[in-house]
Structure 1
Amino acid sequence: MKAVVLKSFGDVDALAVQDMPEPEFGPGDVKVRVTAAGINPVDSKIRRGEMQELMPVTFPTILGRDVSGEVMEVGANVKGFQPGDRVMGMVHGGYAEVVVAPANVWAKVPHSLELRDAAALPMVTLTGAQLIEEQVKPARGDTVLITGALGAVGRAAIHAAHALGVKVWAGVRAQQAEQARRELNMEGVVAIDRPEEVAKLPTLDAVADTVGGKAVTPVLDKVKRGGKVCSVVGEPVGAKERGLVGSFFLSHPDGPRLARLAESVAKGELLIPIAQTFPLDAAKEAQKHAETAGTGKVLLVN
């Protein structure tokens, strides 16, 4: 099979398109012919060697956590999937023509969704939903600020929080505020880079951070003592020093939850924008574009 291979840590020139053997296939696995693969920020971080402590890799390795495609074969112990099914999943080695992963990571793609576009969903929707449901764990009526609200993970987090009856504030940069009000259909939008707007925020029960770094610092003083600051980017800086509960969260595959999130996308309740698509052979250009594309997902298409 053709795949995009990372041969060493470095810039995009460390990526090469070459023939690789198909992944090993076991009795609990599903083999999928990949239609499209999503590019995520973690892919570039792995490529640069920034995730080696949390996600060690050996070379050569195939990047990519998001795929959609058609089932080629199912293992002897697999129930619920059959050849020809349209599926998507959060996997390893997605920048390839064929992917093998355990059955429980896969979800069927709703009929109304384009199979290619489904590759944009797995990692970002699961990350946003799990951030809220497994880390923040807000009670109905709690007030939660979500940073990076226009990003794909932020949108999924807002969707999950609204489903729990949470009072949501969408944190964005000042230049994104009008776009956020329009696209998210929310009045509770705050420019977290404007101190005068942050000062008007109500007391927060928690912050769900999808941006990291210093972006979240301006709002920490608005979180009640003992409140939570949960991030998908890194340990929240300054949270514990203010008497807050800080945590860093890594998402994980979850086929059933992904299926539910995909249905929300199919119904128009959750929008994950796609910025651009590239052929698999153009993975270098695709990763470069993804690093500067803003809020839309970038896909590699076979």
Structure 2
Amino acid sequence: MIDGDEALWLRSPGGRFEVRSAPRPTAGPGLVVIRVRAIAVNPVDAIGGPLRRIVTPWLRYPAVLGSDVAGEVVAVGDGVTRLRIGDRVLGYAAGQERIRNSPAEGGFRRYVAVLARVCTAIPDEVTFERAAVLPLALSTAAAGLFEADQLGLPMPAIPVAPREDVVLVWGASTSVGCNAVQLARASGFAVVATAGRRNHEFVRSLGAEAVLDYRDGDVDQRIVEAVGDRRLAGTVAIGSGSLTHALRIARRLPGTKRIASAYPDPITRARSLAARARGLRVSSIWGGTPVRSAVGPAVFRDYLPPALEDGRFRAAPGPVVVGASLGDIPEALARLRAGVSASKLVVTLE
């Protein structure tokens, strides 16, 4: 096997993963090729065959899944000016997106082609395994907060002027939640959040001013009290059951009444139609939207590099390394299905 010319292939939606040879990607226009050093796994990678046909019906097989990569740039395509060969980067591998649909751009491989618009140079002190926790969760949080058809909030900035309104992040210790808290703060908003009690201090360290336990019977009332007389700028609702609480809270508070749901199942879509009759707007987040929208470069290109450099943005949650080869990824996905809390499972590559 020539170094780098292999990938973890999925031959069919219900098939088994298999490590085998793959053509080495080339750097087309707007792309860079990354020598992958760390890969994080996500729930979208771990879904079963029938559900995979529903979530990504356009995906061609055999396919290479995976979205979260970090490593070194080894080739640069036409039109890419801010990244150079040798740069340490994190990137959102968009091979599963409808507009890309390419195994050369799937993250479960040794070399991957990544769109420069969703690629970020990382400081030397940020390890590859820590950087790999960010791309898809960051993109999903950014989509929910900033896309015009979601909450439509102002983009993050350095420096940022404080705003009086509040963003509610339900499920703040999740991968998406960690990024949503930090990005909302980077846009100037105060953040009220929920998480399990053991993760409260962690979520506060990311910038939330108040963190409530989502399991408490009076959590909705306590969130309303924490927001107080301020307006609710919007809610990012993450996880099963989050939308029920978000709808009740939004009805009781002044503000935009927008809820971006990161649990886009058919029930969520049905409830969004019913909510409109009560003046509420529920939208389902698709984490890959920034791949093609202005939000992608605004976050990955403009905001994140200086924010990582000066430490104001953290790569969170922390990585848990569970393997050191492409062949270890299926076991990482099995562990992910079993459940993780305030951490992200990562596989490293030599």
Shorter chain as denominator, the TM-score bin is 0.7 to 0.9
1:34 to partner: Cα distance = 1.0
1:64 to partner: Cα distance = 0.5
1:123 to partner: Cα distance = 1.2
SS at match of 2:223: coil
1:245 to partner: Cα distance = 0.4
| Paired amino acid for 1:248 | S
1:76 to partner: Cα distance = 3.8
1:178 to partner: Cα distance = 4.2
1:212-235 deviation digits (Å, cap 9, x = unpaired): x32331342221386111112213
Aligned residue runs from structure 1 range 28-39, under 5 A: 28-39=30-41
Aligned residue runs from structure 1 range 250-265, under 5 A: 250-251=286-287, 252-253=290-291, 254-255=296-297, 257-259=299-301, 260-261=303-304, 263-265=306-308
Higher strand share: 1
CA RMSD of aligned residues (A): 2.5
In structure 2, relative to structure 1, the CA distance for the partners of 1:7 and 1:132 (3 Å cut) is same
Whole-angstrom distance in 1 between the partners of 2:115 and 2:209:
41
Q: 1:222 aligned to 244, 249, 272, which one?
A: 249
Say if 2:145 and 2:184, in contact at 8 Å, map to a contact too: yes
Say if 2:304 and 2:313, in contact at 8 Å, map to a contact too: no
1:187 to partner: Cα distance = 4.8
Aligned residue runs from structure 1 range 250-289, under 5 A: 250-251=286-287, 252-253=290-291, 254-255=296-297, 257-259=299-301, 260-261=303-304, 263-266=306-309, 267=311, 269-272=313-316, 273-279=318-324, 280-289=326-335
Q: 2:152 aligned to 137, 144, 154, which one?
A: 137
Query: Kindly, what percent of the aligned residue pairs are identical?
Result: 25
Which position in structure 2 is the counterpart of 1:184?
A: 204
SS at match of 2:282: strand
Whole-angstrom distance in 2 between the partners of 1:290 and 1:54:
18
1:182 to partner: Cα distance = 4.6
TM-score (structure 1 length as normaliser):
0.87
1:176-199 deviation digits (Å, cap 9, x = unpaired): 224213542445122233232222
Whole-angstrom distance in 2 between the partners of 1:289 and 1:268:
31
In structure 2, relative to structure 1, the CA distance for the partners of 1:177 and 1:6 (3 Å cut) is same
Aligned residue runs from structure 1 range 1-302, under 5 A: 1-10=5-14, 14-45=16-47, 47-55=48-56, 56-91=58-93, 92=95, 93-134=106-147, 135-138=150-153, 140-172=163-195, 176-185=196-205, 186-202=208-224, 204-211=232-239, 213-224=240-251, 227-234=257-264, 235=268, 238-242=271-275, 243=278, 244-251=280-287, 252-253=290-291, 254-255=296-297, 257-259=299-301, 260-261=303-304, 263-266=306-309, 267=311, 269-272=313-316, 273-279=318-324, 280-291=326-337, 292-302=339-349
Say if 1:180 and 1:189, in contact at 8 Å, map to a contact too: yes
1:106 to partner: Cα distance = 2.0
* Gap regions ≥5 residues in structure 1: none
In structure 2, relative to structure 1, the CA distance for the partners of 1:26 and 1:179 (3 Å cut) is closer
Whole-angstrom distance in 2 between the partners of 1:79 and 1:106:
12
Whole-angstrom distance in 2 between the partners of 1:199 and 1:284:
42
SS at match of 2:73: strand
1:42-88 deviation digits (Å, cap 9, x = unpaired): 1113x534243452212211111111111112224432222212122
1:157 to partner: Cα distance = 0.6
TM-score (structure 2 length as normaliser):
0.76
1:30 to partner: Cα distance = 1.4
Whole-angstrom distance in 2 between the partners of 1:5 and 1:52:
16
In structure 2, relative to structure 1, the CA distance for the partners of 1:263 and 1:150 (3 Å cut) is farther
Number of equivalent positions? 295
* Gap regions ≥5 residues in structure 2: 96-105, 155-162
